[in-house]
Structure 1
């Protein structure tokens, strides 16, 4: 695991009382204290992100309870996150409330986590389970939300950092933040480049981001955020057998991403706050991919995908025990694809795959929250309609029981969510498998969890049981050569986590996930390990020195690669990593990290080896 996870479990502990209160806002209309969550929520704050030495969002999510982070190599490859047995495109990824999932992606809208640098993230929230209230019915398995810096009142702060490592790694970033009235502003830049981390892969990317929180009235705030990224990657195509069993030819990808967000919050400190949010995202991609015999021809494509989102919420009722919120939201999507498949002349020659498609969706929701003594009830109901689909009704119910003393939390939640098929599956020409008759993918799931704090032993433990059933999953039927709704997958499992502080300067953390995912038609379910998890040993002998030893374990799982149909299993593996930081001057910090400490040979997909031992060392400077 590559992050210091601050969970609901930790926030509920007695030792957390002297810490700054932790809030979450992804699973609810209004930001609320983390110990009051009925859902499974993980929050990672800025200090933990910096101490982890993570380079990308994939590194930050690695090893979290319920998440399987699947990589096809180094930074140049593709990294997806699946939650509780769901497909990666069932994970809704948000940047300051702006959705980043691209519906033209062949994976159905999954987000490549390597394209989101950790330097961009001030705070991270992960919610596991069906979620559809404020952000709409797309998070079938869960939601990952990144929050960027927005600045705060006080002196101007400047930060600079630079790192170098093996595989020609060069990375640098800079940030500046300061006051703006009663709010603040922040801006930053990050650049990273590496080559040959795995075989001939390559990666480079430039990120620019800015944000602000501005007071525009006595009780009104305006939140602004923006990000632009441009990058290039060379990697091995999906299902190609990788550098070990494939042709050795690389796929070349250039991407450009823009996200803009604005949110107006109006109201007093009593919680009666209206929210009006506007978000826009655009992704442009140019890709050239070699053939993967015997089924996939060479291809060239240029895609553009834009999404505009408008959302409003307001409180209907606020009392000491009861809160009721109402909201409306709408989205407009536009996709444009220009592509060609390079078939040989005896099969007809080049086949165009061009399409253009638009879609509009809208819905409303009602959220109720009621407390009575140690019991807390959450209920939400959302209705959505789309120009390409019928009405979808998605309810959610959550319960939380906190007996006197505050050391125990018993929680339960259940809900339904749905997701419209991707433009890639709907709008591609029928000759290439497009099917405009596809139905939305759906899930119904629930969980029950118990967290307990042993104050005298400085020990916190938590366990969650969950079950999800995913229906009408979109799959490709090679016999009919079209996308169809046919899969029905049932995923059940358990998430365990713990934290023990035997000494004031020493902490032991661990998480584990057991998963049983089955396709009820009997078809194999790929990329779902039965067990995964790991832990960290964190030692801070002085205020200036922080050391940590991390472990990650993943059991075997199924995979398919076209060049080697006789192979079907990726063997399990266990990895160790070391990270450390030393603040040797008031403004200067030396950092280093070593991954795959034992230099173990392993694979993440059949024919796709994982990175060998890798390291980087860097220097950071801050003016507070």
Structure 2
């Protein structure tokens, strides 16, 4: 793979259907007498049970029963059975999530959580913040799914806990953690379009009382790909990719009350794309070159039975470069967090001091370009209070961020949950959030230093049911964002093409229904999102987001095989803000099967887009069509 020498290498057609809605509602009422256990949702992803421990909602580990939050959990088994190559493809099977991509794996990918822009979702890998101060938001094509063990998706604003960016929600990704005896694994896979995968790793714990835990993983994938463009002058070659990634994780239990954890992740992606400047008379192979590094060190201390602290230092570097047409950008983030928690019976108090340092390096690669080498910092104090007892749950969070560019910004949230019956809970929450403009939006040739932070206000109500193999949830929300930054007409910035402006307003409102039920030996699952993401000034639907999307599926055990089917559906979307360029709705059918060939060997087979449906996630960009994948994994039991 070519290495961009300038990058700093740092190791630190669906309509709302009454029948479907009624089916989801009915699923929650059946078989309530069955015992509680983890439940399957889209593609074996779990709708979390009340016993699940979750980190994302309050930044400290808590049982879901103590939280008032709309959360999905994806575990390693789900990831392996998904057959997905990209993290975004896997997340698209969850409630409230849509994605778009300019072609195949490795190309520009956007992820919309409850309809909110990519930059409105805060993303963490092992507690390390990942972001781009150029495009805004995580560059999903850089995150290697092969290294991820678990994903937690929090829908709804969380700026009162995490600060800037968490207007739409938070996504936490965790790498493998070692425990018990040494557990090696090796996996290989082959698929359509010349796809090949190879992964290997080992994890475990050694020493007295298994005090030292470790995990190491390596993975490589490549594909010949397909022609990513459907029209216009472009290179008709196949735009494939090559991806290499690795992670290391080490933990040391110093004694019963103190532990150190260190994490490291590195990823490289080289993918093909078709540039707008392509000339048939002089064809070139345009390539994306991605680099992502994350590193973190954490000291967790349990000083007394009631009082605990966590101190973390984190670092990430995200590089993007194109060749032979030259463009390069690098974002580096460093974070420091001192988290304190005190428990007193059913009460929980928290206080955190946090500092975040961002830097953007965009060299001037043309005579007319404007170089950017800018940084900023944010210092924050966050306070939290939680209470859970007698069927009542309360969570209150307040945070103040002091930005070196904009000054102070306060956010807050309050949430309440009540168990109206042993299996039923109602929830309500209010929250405010913000995102500071990216350094590119302020200091590029299209930027304005006077841009204001984007601000959001969210309100939601929820109803949840969990009993045995039956679950049901209904969440209605409205998130209104002001000072929305858009690309507007020239004026105020050096560019005569256009400038960024914080003049727009948007509203993301909708209803998410999800359910899971075992019936007749089959695990049924599904979710429906009915939403209205719109521009409040024009009344138009926001680009590339559907008003309706859904996932349904079922899986069962037959003669030692796990067999399943999945349907992904989306309504029509629009490519442009004026809603004149239509992206048609689509329905995809996926099939999968897995079995244990021997004690230590597992076989997986998938067919995605069984009907070979032609559809677009972005106008004039192709999608893969029908694909096949077969994988074999060796993991001693």
- The alpha carbon displacement at 1:623 in A equals 1.8
**What is the aligned partner in structure 2 of residue 230 from structure 1?**
268
Change (3 A) 1:88 1:364: same
Aligned to 1:40: 70
**Greater relative contact order: 1 or 2 (C-alpha under 8 angstroms, separation 6 or more)?**
2
1:112 aligns with 2:139: yes
In the TM superposition, residue 460 of structure 1 has moved relative to its aligned partner by 2.3
The corresponding residue for 2:193 is: 167
Cα 1:115–1:613 change in 2 (3 A) is same
Q: Describe the superposition over 1:430-480 as per-residue Cα deviations: whole angstroms up to 9, x where unpaired.
A: xx211111111111102111012465xx53221110000011111111343
Q: Does residue 630 of structure 2 align to residue 617 of structure 1?
A: yes
CA distance in 1, matches of 2:306, 2:291: 38
Q: How many residues get paired?
A: 577
Q: Please show how residues 391-540 of structure 1 align to structure 2 within 5 Å.
A: 391-404=408-421, 406-428=422-444, 432-453=445-466, 458-480=469-491, 481-503=498-520, 505-522=521-538, 524=540, 525-540=542-557
Q: Does 1:552 align with 2:571?
A: no
Q: How far apart are residue 26 of structure 1 and its match?
A: 0.9
User: Given the superposition, is the C-alpha separation of residues 28 and 242 from structure 1 closer, same or farther in structure 2, using an over 3 Å criterion?
Assistant: farther
Question: What's the counterpart of residue 9 of structure 2?
Answer: none
1:303 aligns with 2:303: no
Larger mean CA deviation between 324-333 and 533-542 belongs to 533-542
How far does the alpha carbon of each residue in 1:41-60 deviate from its partner, in whole angstroms, 9 at most, with x for none? 11112222222222221122
Higher mean alpha-carbon deviation, 391-400 vs 267-276, is at 267-276
Deviations 1:480-526 (A, max 9, x none): 321110110011100001111013x4201000101112211106421
SS in 2 for 1:89: helix
Residue 587 of structure 1 corresponds to which residue in structure 2?
600
CA distance in 2, matches of 1:614, 1:592: 11
TM-aligned CA distance change 1:566 to 1:446, over 3 Å: closer
Corresponding residue number in structure 1 for 2:157: 130
- In structure 2, the partner of 1:3 is none
| Residue 181 of structure 2 corresponds to residue 143 of structure 1 | no
* Match of residue 133 from structure 2: 103
* Aligned partner (choices 337, 341, 353) of residue 328 of structure 1: 353
Per the TM alignment, residue 379 of structure 1 is displaced from its structure 2 partner at its CA by 0.2
> Using a 3 Å threshold, how does the CA distance of structure 1 residues 14 and 364 change in structure 2: closer, same or farther?
farther
What is the CA–CA distance in structure 2 between the aligned matches of 1:198 and 1:14, rounded to whole Å? 53
Alignment partners' CA distance in 1, 2:548 and 2:278: 25
Structure 1 stretch 384-393 or stretch 271-280: which is displaced more? Answer: 271-280
State the 1:37 CA deviation: 2.2
Alignment-derived partner of residue 201 in structure 1: 239
CA contact (8 A) 2:263 2:295 kept: yes
Which whole-Å deviations, capped at 9, do the CAs of 1:286-307 have from their partners, x for residues lacking one? Answer: 2248xxxxxxxxx622222211
Hey, what does 1:280 align to over in structure 2? 315
Distance across 1 between alignment mates of 2:632 and 2:268? 25
2:61 & 2:388 partners in 1: Cα distance? 16
Which stretches of structure 1, 4 residues or longer, exceed 3 Å deviation after superposition?
A: 13-21, 240-243, 247-251, 268-271
Paired with 2:187 and 2:352, the residues of 1 have a C-alpha distance of: 42
Distance 1:219 1:15 in 2: 39
Alpha-carbon offset, residue 284 of structure 1: 2.2
Q: Secondary structure at the match of 2:36?
A: helix
CA gap 1:566/1:472 in 2 versus in 1, 3 angstroms: closer
Q: Cα deviations across residues 143-202 of structure 1 (Å, max 9, x unaligned)? A: 1110001201x2111000011112111111111012133341100001111123344322
Among 83, 90, 98, the alignment partner of 1:60 is: 90
Farther-moved stretch of structure 1 (589-598 vs 299-308) = 299-308
CA–CA distance in structure 2, aligned partners of residues 389 and 177 of structure 1: 45
C-alpha displacement of 1:133: 4.0
Deviation per residue, 1:7-58 (Å, 9 max, x gap): xx99xx8756355941111110321112332111111122222222222211
Determine if contact 2:160/2:432 at 8 Å carries over to the other structure: no
TM-score by length of 1: 0.88
1:212 Cα deviation after fit: 2.0
Q: Following the alignment from structure 1 to structure 2, what is the Cα–Cα distance between the partners of residues 529 and 540?
A: 34
Equivalent residues of 2:198, 2:219 under 8 A apart: yes
Q: Deviations over 1:79-100 (max 9, x none)?
A: 2211112111111111011111
| Map of 1:23 onto structure 2 | 53
Q: Given the superposition, is the C-alpha separation of residues 328 and 15 from structure 1 closer, same or farther in structure 2, using an over 3 Å criterion?
A: farther
Instruction: Give the stretch that moved more between structures: 65-74 or 207-216.
Output: 65-74
Equivalent residue of 1:65, what SS?
coil
**Change in 2 beyond 3 A, CA 1:166/1:242:** farther
In the alignment, structure 1 segments of 5+ residues that lack a partner are: 1-8, 290-298, 342-349
Q: Which residue of 1 aligns with 2:14?
A: none
Q: Is the 8 A contact 1:66 1:513 kept in 2?
A: yes
Change (3 A) 1:183 1:42: farther
Supply the distance in 1 between the matched residues of 2:455 and 2:634 (Cα, whole angstroms): 48
What SS does the aligned partner of 2:546 have? coil
In structure 2, the residue matched to 1:90 is 120
Rounded to whole Å, the distance in 2 between the matches of 1:52 and 1:300 is: 36
The equivalent residue for 1:51 is 81
Report how far residue 336 of structure 1 moved: 1.1
Q: Distance in 2 between matches of 1:447 and 1:79?
A: 28
* Cα 1:611/1:14, change in 2 over 3 Å: farther
**1:617 CA displacement:** 1.1
